[in-house]
């Protein structure tokens, strides 16, 4: 089911209608389009102290939406059986939200997912629409290092398919990145999306150093890992076939299919969902 609010900004009427929808016993999948929910909603009327029962919803997509961590957490409190969550960030994110709230769209995301940590299996975050935001940060302000990685997802026991921007996993060089410390042990498929701006500079392989660590820990930690897909900007890969064969060979030795594609699809990035 697709739910869109014409006003874009989520007021109390939006939340009231949304809660009415997610209570429907037959509704298992919901897509919300072009909504900005910055303020934390107030759900329970003062005259009704009884908590609302959990929603039967198992799949939720927030398409071109901006939900603050507090607003997302409040929503997920009623969807504790959620298995799939897909988020895509709109092009205007930096203008209307990032300057005053969160520099990166994954700030506070792990904490917002706390209500569904026992059920969530698929997590997808598409930030490819705001590559220009990172370009502006890099060009106008030396704040790239201030973009901290996402908080660890290791305590999500069922999380098996993850699609995230490179920047959500890396800070600084690949040699100093602690990607393995972020991922859950039951991860099966990992999709890394290069959310930075297109460039004549070939930097895709610069971010592949994390892959060696993940593959080295496959037998000890990530025993269920079967596929790693890296999506980069079209025209950025250059002549890297030889190096990619090394990564693919390393993956084959531990039972992981490693693939690198030099193109970013704006919509529907991800696998297995």
Give domain limits for the chain.
2-42+53-198
Q: What is the DSSP letter of 210?
A: H
Number of CB atoms found within 10 A of residue 34's CB: 15
Q: Among all chains, which residue has been given the structure tokens 């392989």? A: 205
Q: Give me the pLDDT at residue 268, please.
A: 42
Number of CB atoms found within 10 A of residue 43's CB: 17
* Distance between CA atoms of residues 273 and 271, nearest Å: 6
Q: Give me the pLDDT at residue 40, please.
A: 80
Q: Is the pTM of this model over 0.85?
A: no
* Distance between CA atoms of residues 252 and 79, nearest Å: 38
* Distance between CA atoms of residues 126 and 89, nearest Å: 6
Question: Which pLDDT tens digits describe the chain residue by residue (273 residues)?
Answer: 555 544 477 778 888 888 889 989 889 999 999 888 888 887 654 445 556 677 899 999 999 888 889 999 999 999 999 999 999 988 766 555 555 565 678 889 999 999 999 999 999 998 877 765 555 555 555 544 556 789 999 999 999 999 998 778 876 555 555 676 789 999 999 998 876 555 434 455 555 677 777 888 888 889 999 999 887 765 555 555 666 777 788 899 999 999 877 665 444 443 333
């Amino acid at each position: 089911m697709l739910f869109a609010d014409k006003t874009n900004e989520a007021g109390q009427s939006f939340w009231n209608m949304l809660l009415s929808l997610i209570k429907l016993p037959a509704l298992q999948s919901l897509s919300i389009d072009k909504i900005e929910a910055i303020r934390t909603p107030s759900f329970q009327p003062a005259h009704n102290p009884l908590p609302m029962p959990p929603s039967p919803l198992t799949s939720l997509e927030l398409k071109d939406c901006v939900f603050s961590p507090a607003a997302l957490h409040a929503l997920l409190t009623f969807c504790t059986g959620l298995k799939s969550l897909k988020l895509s960030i709109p092009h205007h994110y930096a203008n209307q939200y990032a300057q005053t709230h969160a520099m990166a769209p994954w700030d506070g995301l792990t904490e917002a997912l706390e209500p569904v940590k026992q059920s969530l299996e698929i997590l997808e975050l598409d930030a490819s629409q705001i590559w220009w935001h990172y370009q502006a940060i890099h060009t106008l302000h030396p704040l790239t290092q201030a973009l901290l990685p996402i908080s660890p997802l290791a305590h999500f026991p069922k999380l098996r398919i993850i699609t995230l921007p490179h920047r959500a996993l890396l800070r600084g060089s690949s040699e100093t990145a602690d990607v393995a410390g972020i991922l859950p042990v039951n991860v099966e498929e990992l999709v890394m999306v290069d959310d930075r701006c297109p460039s004549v500079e070939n930097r895709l392989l610069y971010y592949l150093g994390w892959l060696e660590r993940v593959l080295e820990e496959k037998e000890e930690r990530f025993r269920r890992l079967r596929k790693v897909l890296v999506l980069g900007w079209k025209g950025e890969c250059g002549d890297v076939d030889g190096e990619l064969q090394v990564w693919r060979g390393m993956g084959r030795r531990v039972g992981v299919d490693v693939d690198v594609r030099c193109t970013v699809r704006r919509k529907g990035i991800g696998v297995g969902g």
